[in-house]
């Protein structure tokens, strides 16, 4: 019995358990945008215009659609393209609230654009602090059905678009490309 216990101990001693180590968010941001990571300065607040710009919501939704129609990914809101941490204070002020108001507004838009089922299972939203500022981390899963997005075009008309990731950007697929892409990706 003692020999058996000793053998078990020695066997377990030589086994290497694989553990997944999370890379700190600061390091992820420092590596820059890529096929599965995108930065957005804001959800509502235009840093260029110095005011609320509702068109920025469509930019966020476009990224969510593109990630979900591809292999999934992470969207960080409150981070400039160059990796500078801006935080969410301007967005919070625009919503006259805090992270709860921010998430509620985001989820309402996702519910409306992609459906409640997708909003409940296709994304997870957290608010980590980076460099002393709160940002929004939206993790988007690979969708099981194509996700189309209705956006406002240059003529102020509502049109349905299909977005995918191409390298480190979200791009609209041309009409003639959608069917073959959907058949290859979702079948």
Q: 73 pLDDT band (50/70/90 cuts)? A: very high
**Tens-place pLDDT, residues 142-181:** 999 999 999 988 898 999 999 999 999 999 999 999 999 9
Q: Fold for domain 28-186?
A: 3.30.950
Q: Residue 20's pLDDT is what? A: 55
Q: 3 pLDDT band (50/70/90 cuts)? A: confident
Q: Residue 75's pLDDT is what? A: 98
- As a whole-number percent, the residues of the chain with pLDDT over 70 amount to 93
Cβ neighbors of 60 (< 8 A, separation 6 or more) are 40, 43, 75, 77, 106, 109, 138
């Amino acid at each position: 019995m003692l020999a058996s216990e000793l053998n078990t101990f020695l066997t377990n001693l030589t086994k290497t358990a694989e553990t997944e180590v999370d890379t700190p968010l600061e390091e992820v941001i420092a590596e820059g945008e890529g096929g599965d990571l995108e930065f957005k300065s804001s959800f509502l607040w235009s840093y260029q215009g110095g005011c609320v710009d509702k068109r920025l919501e469509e930019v966020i939704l476009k990224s969510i659609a593109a990630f979900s129609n591809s292999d999934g990914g992470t969207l960080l809101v409150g981070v400039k393209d160059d990796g500078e941490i801006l935080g969410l204070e301007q967005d919070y002020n625009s919503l006259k609230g805090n992270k709860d108001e921010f998430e509620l507004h985001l989820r309402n838009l996702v519910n409306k654009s992609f459906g409640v089922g997708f909003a409940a299972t296709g994304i997870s939203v957290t608010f980590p602090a980076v460099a002393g500022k709160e940002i929004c981390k939206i993790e988007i899963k690979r969708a099981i059905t194509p996700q189309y997005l209705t956006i406002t075009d240059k003529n102020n008309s509502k049109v349905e678009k299909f977005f995918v990731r191409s390298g480190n950007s979200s791009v609209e697929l041309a009409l003639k490309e959608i069917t073959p892409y959907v058949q290859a990706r979702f079948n």
